């Protein structure tokens, strides 16, 4: 779509307001609204000014002026606003140099796709994320020097099974694919699905997920890297808005419930060249080509560093623990959901051959996470990194001696951030990631998340120690 076509789109849809949006370093949409009178073709070159020092991980206060440049291909109508509103996603640039901003996550994604082409390995990377989430009827939390608490609740939750007025609750780990009335969120997910289709997302299916208390999944058809990252930002916005409009609260927090499965974001990936898939070889293990096997080798070698972007919260490591179907074992295997990398075996078509990296969760900034996965895979291909031999066993049930030789994912966000500082050269190739981006990201996470959580008493510590 050209800038002129984007302006015409606004007119054709009778939009009165433009929501100008961009993504911060941590993966949250930021936005401001303008009347349509201030949206014309010139804005696609002149941009909109904003204060970069007020955005997490961006500019210092003495370098605060930044510009947002609308991407005409990204425009869509917001399905929720009372007044007709068009949404446009923006790229970020420096007003003095005119150059794209090195810490703009969307720019990182675009550079990753360009780097793939420059290597000659392929010209297209397809990404298919499976983002899970919870929908609660109640989500409360409070933190202060004198106390802390949280509470989540759902009409589906098994802990409500003994209360009057509650029926057909879902026991822990019992939520996969039940029909109504056990699944009480069918209509809500359908509303979400229809909204997603309205904004250009191709939804393949929706269903209840394994955990109790409203765990859901809506599956999107795969797409190219930057486009899929844009779609995931729309996806999260629609999920949260639809829940809110129905008096509920949606969260992409990976592990909000103790003792049940957490929410992941398994990422399916495949590289294509000249319209042909490069990951297929009928003679290879699970139908994988050497290219795919080396791609997996890169994912597994760099997994500790990758998780700084792919499982980017302290809460992520409440999910990445033994049990609960968590993919903590740095192995690959066909059909095996206990491995960190799984090879889906649902089709014999070469076009369907892909690798599924199962450790990410939906708190990830998709532009950075998808880019980091691609860069690790490219490094694996370029250096012909061989992954450990595939293991077609339940990795959770291995004897201790056999399990001892299998590397596992790091146990904390702090550990993955340390791994990223020690292992990031592969991300810098082609100037895809910049050192400044990585350093700003790590510093923010260490201070505002790792230290902030570590310094506070945990409520369970009072249970353990208060009467000692």
Query: Quick one: pLDDT at residue 179?
Result: 95
Give the list of residues 6+ apart from residue 239 with CB closer than 8 angstroms, or none: 133, 192, 218, 250, 252
Query: Would you say residue 395 has pLDDT above 70?
Result: no
List b or e across 162-177, with b for residues whose CB sees 16 or more CB atoms inside 10 angstroms.
eeeeeeebbebbbbee
Residue 97 to residue 204: CA distance in whole angstroms? 43
Q: Which entry of 137, 183, 217, 361 is annotated as an active-site residue?
A: 217
Q: Rounded to 5 degrees, what are φ and ψ at 86? A: -95, 140
Query: Quick one: pLDDT at residue 394?
Result: 72
**By C-alpha distance, which of 100, 110, 157, 150 is closest to 134?**
157
* Segment 440-464 mean pLDDT: 96
DSSP string, 311-343: S-STTHHHHSSSSTT---EEEEEES-TTEEEEE
Q: Which entry of 56, 100, 206, 337 is annotated as an active-site residue?
A: 337
Is 449 annotated as catalytic?
no
Q: Taking a C-beta distance cutoff of 8 angstroms, is the pair 85, 19 a contact? A: yes
Paired tokens of 197:
């289709």
- Residues forming beta bridges with residue 371, ordered by sequence position: none
Torsion of the alpha carbons at 265, 28, 143 and 418, rounded to the nearest 10: 60
Q: Taking a C-beta distance cutoff of 8 angstroms, is the pair 95, 29 a contact? A: no
Q: Which fold has domain 3-101?
A: Ubiquitin-like (UB roll) (3.10.20)
Categorize the per-residue pLDDT at 389 as very low, low, confident or very high, splitting at 50, 70 and 90: very high
Residue 24 to residue 129: CA distance in whole angstroms? 20
Cis omega (within 30 of 0) for bond into 181 = yes
Is 266 annotated as catalytic?
yes
Q: Rounded to 5 degrees, what are φ and ψ at 90? A: -120, 150
pLDDT digits (tens, 9 = 90+) for 153-201: 999 999 999 998 888 999 999 999 999 999 999 999 999 999 999 999 9
Q: Which entry of 71, 104, 110, 356 is annotated as an active-site residue?
A: 356
* Segment 329-349 mean pLDDT: 88
Query: Would you say residue 61 has pLDDT above 90?
Result: no
Q: Which entry of 71, 104, 113, 132 is annotated as an active-site residue?
A: 132
Residue 462 to residue 139: CA distance in whole angstroms? 22
Is 209 annotated as catalytic?
yes
- What is the Cβ-side half-sphere exposure of residue 151, based on CA atoms within 13 angstroms? 7
Is 384 annotated as catalytic?
no
pLDDT digits (tens, 9 = 90+) for 238-251: 999 999 999 999 99
Categorize the per-residue pLDDT at 129 as very low, low, confident or very high, splitting at 50, 70 and 90: very high
Q: Taking a C-beta distance cutoff of 8 angstroms, is the pair 363, 256 a contact? A: no
pLDDT digits (tens, 9 = 90+) for 297-307: 999 999 999 99
Q: Taking a C-beta distance cutoff of 8 angstroms, is the pair 44, 9 a contact? A: no
Query: Quick one: pLDDT at residue 274?
Result: 97
Domain residue extents for the chain: 3-101, 112-465
Is 356 annotated as catalytic?
yes
Query: Would you say residue 45 has pLDDT above 90?
Result: yes
pLDDT digits (tens, 9 = 90+) for 254-285: 999 999 999 999 999 999 999 999 999 999 99
Average pLDDT, whole number, for the chain?
A: 95
Q: Which entry of 5, 51, 394, 402 is annotated as an active-site residue?
A: 51
Q: Taking a C-beta distance cutoff of 8 angstroms, is the pair 466, 333 a contact? A: no
Categorize the per-residue pLDDT at 443 as very low, low, confident or very high, splitting at 50, 70 and 90: very high
Q: Which entry of 358, 361, 379, 414 is annotated as an active-site residue?
A: 358
Residue 442 to residue 419: CA distance in whole angstroms? 11
Is 414 annotated as catalytic?
no
The model carries a pTM of: 0.96
Q: Taking a C-beta distance cutoff of 8 angstroms, is the pair 359, 320 a contact? A: yes
Taking phi first (over 0 means left), then psi (-120 to 50 degrees means alpha), and beta for anything else, what does residue 57 get?
A: left
Helix pair angle (290-301, 366-382), 10° resolution: 120
Instruction: For 112-465, give the CATH class.
Output: alpha beta
Long-range interactions of 436-443: CB distance < 8 A, separation 24+: 436/102, 436/103, 437/25, 437/102, 437/103, 437/108, 440/25, 440/57, 440/58, 440/103, 441/25, 441/57, 441/308, 441/309, 441/368, 442/308, 442/417
* Total residues belonging to the chain: 468
* Segment 352-376 mean pLDDT: 97
The structure tokens 């289709």 sit at: 197
List b or e across 139-148, with b for residues whose CB sees 16 or more CB atoms inside 10 angstroms.
beeeeeeeee
Query: Would you say residue 337 has pLDDT above 80?
Result: no
Q: Which entry of 71, 110, 209, 230 is annotated as an active-site residue?
A: 209
| Element at 95 (helix H, strand E) | none
Q: Which entry of 21, 106, 189, 266 is annotated as an active-site residue?
A: 266
Is 132 annotated as catalytic?
yes
**By C-alpha distance, which of 460, 266, 463 is closest to 355?**
266
Q: Which entry of 71, 110, 113, 130 is annotated as an active-site residue?
A: 130
Residue 435 to residue 25: CA distance in whole angstroms? 14
pLDDT digits (tens, 9 = 90+) for 65-89: 899 999 999 999 999 999 999 999 9
**By C-alpha distance, which of 354, 356, 128 is closest to 220?**
128
């Amino acid at each position: 779509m050209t800038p002129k076509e984007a302006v015409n789109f606004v007119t054709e849809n009778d939009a009165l307001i433009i929501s100008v949006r961009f993504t911060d370093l941590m993966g949250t949409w930021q936005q401001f609204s303008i009347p349509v009178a201030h949206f014309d073709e010139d804005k696609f070159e002149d941009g909109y000014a904003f204060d970069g020092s007020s955005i997490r991980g961006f500019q210092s206060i003495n370098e605060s002026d930044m510009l947002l440049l609308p991407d005409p291909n990204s425009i869509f109508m917001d399905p929720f606003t009372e007044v007709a509103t068009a949404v446009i996603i923006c790229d970020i640039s420096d007003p003095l140099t005119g150059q794209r901003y090195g810490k703009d996550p969307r720019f990182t994604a675009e550079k990753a796709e360009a780097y793939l082409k420059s290597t000659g390995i392929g010209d297209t990377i397809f990404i298919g994320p499976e983002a899970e989430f919870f929908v609660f009827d109640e989500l409360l939390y409070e933190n202060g020097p004198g106390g802390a608490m949280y509470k989540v609740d759902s009409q589906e939750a098994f802990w409500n099974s003994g209360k009057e007025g509650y029926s057909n609750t879902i026991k822990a780990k019992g939520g996969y694919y039940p029909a109504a009335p056990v699944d009480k969120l069918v209509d809500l997910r359908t509303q979400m699905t229809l909204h997603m289709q309205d904004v250009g997302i191709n939804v393949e299916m929706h269903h209840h997920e394994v955990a109790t208390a409203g765990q859901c999944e809506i599956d999107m058809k795969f797409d190219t890297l930057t486009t899929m990252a844009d779609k995931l930002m729309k996806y999260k916005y629609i999920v949260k808005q639809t829940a809110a409009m129905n008096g509920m609260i949606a969260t992409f927090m990976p592990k909000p419930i103790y003792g049940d499965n957490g929410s992941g974001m398994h990422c399916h990936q495949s590289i294509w060249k000249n319209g042909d898939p490069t990951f297929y070889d009928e003679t290879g293990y699970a139908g994988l080509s050497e290219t795919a096997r080396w791609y997996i080798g890169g994912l597994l070698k760099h997994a500790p560093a990758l998780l700084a972007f792919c499982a980017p919260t302290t809460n992520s490591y409440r999910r990445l623990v033994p049990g609960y179907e968590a993919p903590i074992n740095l192995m690959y295997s066909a059909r095996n959901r206990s491995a960190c990398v799984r090879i889906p075996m649902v089709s014999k078509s070469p076009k369907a051959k892909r690798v599924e990296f199962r450790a990410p969760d939906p708190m990830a900034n998709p532009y950075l996470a998808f880019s980091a996965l691609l860069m690790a895979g490219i490094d694996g291909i370029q250096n012909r990194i061989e992954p450990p031999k595939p293991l077609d066993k339940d990795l959770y049930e291995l004897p201790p001696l056999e399990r001892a030789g299998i590397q596992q994912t790091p146990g904390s966000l702090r550990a993955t951030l340390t791994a990223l500082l020690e292992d990031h050269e592969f991300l810098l190739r082609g100037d895809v990631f910049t050192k400044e981006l990585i350093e700003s990201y790590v510093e923010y996470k260490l201070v505002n998340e790792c230290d902030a959580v570590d310094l506070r008493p945990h409520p369970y510590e009072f249970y353990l120690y208060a009467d000692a």
